[in-house]
Every structure is written in C-alpha cells, then in structure tokens.
Amino acid sequence: MTAMRLGTADHLGWAVVVAATADHQVVDRRRIELIEPGVPVAPIHHCGGPHQLHRSGEPLRDTELAVLVADVRASVVRAASAALAELAAAVPAPITSLSLRTWPASFPADIAVQRRVPYESRADAIMYRQVLADVARNRGWAIHLYDSRTVEAEAARLLGEGTDDVLRRPRATLGPPWAKDHRVAFAATIVAA
C-alpha cells in the first residue's frame, strides 16, 4: 500500500482526521481529542478575551494568561502526540503528510496582542493548528495548509470528471459518519498531492 496522507478539520479541542492513500482511498477516519480532559479549550478567548459573555470572572493579566496558555499548549502537545501516534499505528502504511487549515503567517505570537480584537477569537484555534504542525514535523511528516472555503473546489479541479464519485464514495462504502468535516479533510489530502 502507498504512503498515507492525513487531512484534518479542526475544532477547539478536537479534530476530524481522514487518512487516505495517494490514489484517494480512505483507510481511516476518526475524531481525535486535541487536549486533555479538564484543561480550558480556549484560554485566550475564555480567560483573557475582552468579551465578558465568554468569561466567568475578570480576565487574567498578561503574565497569568501566558502561563495558562503554556500549560494548555503542553496539554495539546501531549494529547495530539498520543492521538497521532495511535492513528499512525492503525494505518497500513507510513504517514507522509498532514494537511491543516491555514492561518496567517503574520498572526501575532504575543499574548498581549492575541487577547485583543480581532485576534482573540482566532488565537486558540491557531494554537491547535500550530501544535499539530509541530507534532507532525517532529514525526517527519510534511505539512500542507489549505483554505477550508476552497479546498473541495481545488480537489474537484484536480480530480476532474470523477470528482463526485471520489469525494462522496467514502460515505457509501464506509457509512456514516461522513459529513462536511470528513469531506474537507479528505479533499485536503487530495490537494496535498
């Protein structure tokens, strides 16, 4: 069997991951946890952001928030590493790449900036993607970034006439669940070629 590509559709604290071959056969799809239980899934948004609706108290000071974010990031490293190791052991061939939703290269790294609008609503999600990218690179996998708004259309362009069959076949052959997250993650493996 050929090498495997992974595509992800991430959310706060979890992701849908699809493993596919170079000839677009889905061999695994699963939800993985990206953070350990009991750890805040959105520290910037929920503990340091400006919106009172999302906080249970006063926002943390920059130094306190930086410590919390470091703790959360460490938890994500552990959880993502374990989930990807489990997935790598389950698929029948070596994994060569991981596709992730893109983020701005210029996204600020400074906590004091991240906690302000417009960054605070995206900082936590970007942290998960950055950690996933680091974990995958440490495993020797290539990283591919994709735009979730256009990845299915890009995959269709690459596939040509057989697009509908390839992108929808997994639902028919594997059964549910096969939802939009799965299609996007699968399309990302196609575009990564």
Three-state DSSP class for 173? Answer: helix
Tokens of 184: 């996007």
The CA distance from 44 to 147, in Å, is 23
Amino acid at 80: A
Average pLDDT over residues 31-55: 83
Question: For residue range 117-135, what is the model confidence (pLDDT) as tens digits?
Answer: 899 899 999 999 999 999 9
Amino acid at 171: R
Where do the domains of the chain lie, and which CATH numbers do they carry? 4-191 (3.30.420.10)
Residue 53 confidence (pLDDT): 60
Which of the pair, 184 or 49, is modelled with greater confidence?
184
Residue 30 has pLDDT above 70, yes or no: yes
| Dihedral sign computed on CA atoms, order 180, 73, 27, 100 | positive
pTM for the model:
0.93
Which of the pair, 65 or 60, is modelled with greater confidence?
65
Contact 141, 174 (CB under 8 A): no
Contact 74, 68 (CB under 8 A): no
